[in-house]
Amino acid sequence: MTEKPKTALITGGAKGLGRAVAVALAKEGINVIINYKSSKVEADDVAKRIQNDGGVARTIQFDVADVSQVDAKIKEVSEEVGGIDILVNNAGIIQDGLVLRMDNSSWANVIETNLSGAFFCSRAVLRKMVSNRWGRIINIGSVVGDRGNAGQVNYSASKAGLIGFTKALSKELAARNITVNIVNPGYVETETTSVLTEQQKNQWLSLIPVGRFGESEEIANLVAFLASNKASYITGQVIAIDGGLSV
């Protein structure tokens, strides 16, 4: 009997790393749901690319920081597809600034989206995963969650919080055959790094032993592995993929 294809929800899946993850999972025969907050055109483009390659993809709009939206939309789509098997908590924002100049909203917005959003989405998909006794939750962290970075106390705190969230949740769910891991990318060639000046890029490159930024596809391939049955004995792990930056 052929196994029913798994379904994955990728938050912030319209651009950059999220887009690469959606494409990589689709290549593995996984049906993908691409979440977006405001990037409808980009999300539709990713879905069309996957569909044109023979995959199954759809889009869904909600703000991960709004718990009422998360609960309503995930319940709706979960009922339609028979449950979410794989959740990739990728949605995140950056609102940088030194602490002395950082306003309350810049702190709250980043924490709510990057950390609370992962909690809201994980909680919303878990009942079906627990019932099915199979699931994968993969959180997208950052090297700065481990190292910290001046001017990014809010972002660093949100990603450090994700590490603790991952480890604790993995212990709650391990007996149910649900794994929870966090991938900590270093500097990756995305829209985020494209705004760096040449001086900033060179400064970071000097700290990366392999001497280059990563590519979204490299991160996505790791996520695809963690989402598979091949990674069933890996849980609660913080996996850096940063060219040696965190060594």
Q: What is the DSSP string of 86-153?
A: EEEE-------B-GGG--HHHHHHHHIIIIIHHHHHHHHHHHHHHHHT-EEEEEE--THHHH--TTBH
Active-site residue flag, 187: no
Residue 223: its H or E element? helix 216-226
Percent of the chain with pLDDT over 70: 97
Number of domains in the chain: 1
**Residue 55: pLDDT above 80?**
yes
Q: Is residue 247 part of a domain?
A: no
Q: What pLDDT is attached to residue 22?
A: 98
Q: Containing domain of residue 134, as a range?
A: 7-240
**Residue 23: pLDDT above 80?**
yes
CATH code at position 168: 3.40.50.720
Q: What pLDDT is attached to residue 198?
A: 86
Q: What pLDDT is attached to residue 2?
A: 61
**DSSP symbol at 10:** E
| Mean pLDDT over the full length of the chain | 95
Q: How far apart are CA 138 and CA 169, in angstroms?
A: 11
**The pTM is what?**
0.95
Mean pLDDT of 40-64: 98
Which one of 36, 155, 187, 233 is the catalytic residue?
A: 155
Q: Is residue 246 part of a domain?
A: no
